Amino acid sequence: MSGDLISLHAIGSKTLGGAERFCIRLLDALRERGETVSVLARRGSEVVGAIPGGIPVTESPMRTVWDPWSKRAVSRAIADIRPDIVQTYMGRATRLTRLREGRGPIHVARLGGYYKLDGYRHAHAWIGNTRGVCDYMIANGLPADRVFHIGNFIDLPRTSSDDERTRLRTAWGIPRDAYVLMTAGRFVEVKGHRFLLDALAQLPVRLNDRPVRLLLLGDGILGPRLREQAARLGVDERIVWAGWQSDPAPFYEIADLVVFPSLEQETLGNVILEAWAHRKPIVVSRFRGAREITRDGVDAWQVPCEDAIELAAGVRHVAGQPGLAAAMAEQGFDQVRRDFSRAAVAGAYIDLYGELRRRQGRRDVA
């Protein structure tokens, strides 16, 4: 694809989450490659304020998927921008985007989960961020020759200074000699936090002769319940409730071990990629996304889902073998540079847009 091909990225979310942040990173990566990109976002949303400067943004009501005014506003915006590709994220923007298949814009729907497909079938092509999601789409009737796998990417972080790390520890009351376990994610059931708290209760108060602290980055509906569980288990004083952090990088920097205990329903888990990018070892539950991208004992230590006993055992095992932890962290770093880099994923999107346009051209000629 050349820079004269315009891709419009439509996202109807009100707040920032994983899909929204990926959309923003992708926009920046495509622009960096000289591609022409534009955004159609929900009016007044957090997404609008997070779009990198210099990328054109059109705001649209996107109130509900049934609102005829919202549908007309989306159609009018697309007609005004005249893109070659319209890529939609999540259900709202996808349902509101209705394009005829033919010589006009090509509608590409990106799926980052195992969603019901009724609101996605009208698209012209589909992207899944894992092979499992792609297999699911094909098994449920979408044409295999128009389903494409392109994974997420993670930018390699900057390294913080010793002073910055010291200030962070001081600000959150983390002892300088603490052995820091860390996880990140919304406080929702699929993230498996309750099993992590149960596992913490089974761990000794010191690992490698260092006081254990669990650093929780996140917030959500289950927050009060998790705090009650921590108090009941008697582990609350060993937990740092850091809340939602717009820049989690410094927290990864002070972690000794990342733990990601999601349930089977988790699609991918960007925490794995973030841990690898920071050269941190990770203990991860064996959910479907982790099975796809991690290698047990090579770049991650896998344990069964929903099993606090095995989770605690996995943490003790990795913490007790510094050589294994360092080797897994290095293998993960190599994989994220090779397979989940900005250049590799942006290039895959560019190639796909060009291929879809060529296919459309061949149909027009025929």
pLDDT tens-place string over residues 17-74: 778 989 999 999 999 999 999 999 999 999 999 999 999 999 999 999 898 999 999 9
Q: Indicate the number of domains in the chain.
A: 2
- Looking at the domain assignment, is residue 50 inside a domain? yes
Structural domain boundaries enclosing 313: 162-339
pLDDT of residue 247: 85
pLDDT of residue 245: 87
pLDDT, tens digit (0-9, with 9 covering 90-100), for 249-292: 999 999 999 999 999 999 888 899 999 999 999 999 999 999 99
pLDDT tier at 362, thresholds 50, 70, 90: low
Q: Are residues 115 and 210 in the same domain?
A: no
- Looking at the domain assignment, is residue 46 inside a domain? yes
* pLDDT of 175 over the 90 cut: yes
pLDDT of residue 363: 59
Q: Are residues 53 and 37 in the same domain?
A: yes
Structure-block tokens of residue 293: 């991208």
Q: Are residues 167 and 149 in the same domain?
A: no
Q: Are residues 177 and 322 in the same domain?
A: yes
Q: Are residues 216 and 188 in the same domain?
A: yes
Q: What is the mean pLDDT of residues 235-244?
A: 96
- Looking at the domain assignment, is residue 1 inside a domain? no
In this prediction the pTM is 0.84
CATH number at residue 280: 3.40.50.2000
Q: Are residues 111 and 18 in the same domain?
A: yes
Q: Are residues 209 and 168 in the same domain?
A: yes
pLDDT, tens digit (0-9, with 9 covering 90-100), for 187-208: 999 999 999 999 999 999 999 9
Q: Are residues 13 and 148 in the same domain?
A: yes
Q: Are residues 354 and 279 in the same domain?
A: no
- Looking at the domain assignment, is residue 355 inside a domain? yes
Q: Are residues 25 and 103 in the same domain?
A: yes
For residue 123, what are the CA distances in angstroms to 94, 284, 354?
8, 34, 17
- Looking at the domain assignment, is residue 238 inside a domain? yes
Q: Are residues 233 and 324 in the same domain?
A: yes
Q: What is the mean pLDDT of residues 10-16?
A: 92
Q: Are residues 24 and 90 in the same domain?
A: yes
* pLDDT of 158 over the 50 cut: yes
